[in-house]
């Protein structure tokens, strides 16, 4: 069975500081991994996804994530955050039956 664990429920960080949001997964089949972002009062939208190839994936708004097969991780990073990055971030894995399994989310709070 597949699962996704987001280790931090909340991450406060000061504006212009770097941030890393952690995600670990378990899967017995080929892995397709995603990060979605949910801004206040909005639905989720895709930030980036790992399908195959390069383990460093670049997404929108300056975010990137690194797929690490040996550590079964897909951590999300941004070198310098802005107030507008305040949102909830979800890691997800695509299961073998074309469904997604979502993590419990990490709430990023960027402080001025």
The residues binding another protein (CB under 8 A) are 6, 9, 32, 34, 36, 41-46, 49, 51, 90, 94-96, 98-100, 102-105
**First-residue to last-residue Cα distance in the chain:** 41
Closest approach of another protein to the CB of residue 44, in Å: 4
DSSP for residue 80: S
Phi, psi angles (nearest 5°) of residue 14: -80, 150
**CB-nearer residue toward another protein: 64 or 102:** 102
Closest approach of another protein to the CB of residue 56, in Å: 18
Phi, psi angles (nearest 5°) of residue 60: -80, 160
CB 47 within 8 A of CB 36: yes
**CB-nearer residue toward another protein: 25 or 34:** 34
Closest approach of another protein to the CB of residue 20, in Å: 19
């Amino acid at each position: 069975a597949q699962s996704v664990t987001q280790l931090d429920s909340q991450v406060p960080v000061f504006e212009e500081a770097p941030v890393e949001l952690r995600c670990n997964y378990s899967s017995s089949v080929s892995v397709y991994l995603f990060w979605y972002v949910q801004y206040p009062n909005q639905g989720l939208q895709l930030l980036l996804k790992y399908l195959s190839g390069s383990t460093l994936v670049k997404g929108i708004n300056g975010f990137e994530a690194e797929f690490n097969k040996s550590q079964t991780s897909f951590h999300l990073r941004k070198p310098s955050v802005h107030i507008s990055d305040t949102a909830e971030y979800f890691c997800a894995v695509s299961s073998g039956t074309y469904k997604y399994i979502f993590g419990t989310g990490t709430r990023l709070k960027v402080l001025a």
